[in-house]
Structure 1
């Protein structure tokens, strides 16, 4: 028996909505509230098995979460952001094992399976 695989395209809007689309021009299939309800970026792990969302709320609070894309809920929230941010936090995954996010001229690192921050880089001076 063949396994049916349905692939969605996700979009995030500035109003804090995550939408999932199919390739049929009918419209979005789901409409979820994104963490922080504002500016976010979504990214799958390199093997495509895990979906992460990172961003900044309207109040400037940064967040990094693993998203359950089938149920539209947060699976885990990573801790370690300290300050208010004036822009969207940038992040990336590596080797299906680590997360890295930039905040306040530093790069912060997490193990994908542990919500506590592993380490932080020294402050980077921008000239």
Structure 2
């Protein structure tokens, strides 16, 4: 069932990252290890197409979104649904670790790349 998988092929920044990830189980798949018939069964990607990392995030998306738009949607979700995100700002052991991580999807956010409006909207550190 393709609706149960995130298709990360067009948005991959790291070649070692999985091409697909199951939304519920977290199982991952790579095209390089798929049977030969799989490629012909998948819908083709358009050149330079940008997709949300999470299909239909956070609402139904009828057209592809750019990476900055996707990031903006994640920040909006953090502000609107803080209980769905882990806030790691005060307990970071590694400065390179993300400041926020989505509890279900694993999406991560860093304050250093946040939109200007985010800082004033965040709850105070605990």
TM-score, with structure 1 as normaliser: 0.27
Bigger fraction of residues in helix: 2
Query: Highest relative contact order (Cα 8 Å, sep 6+), 1 or 2?
Result: 2
TM-score, with structure 2 as normaliser: 0.28
Bigger fraction of residues in strand: 1
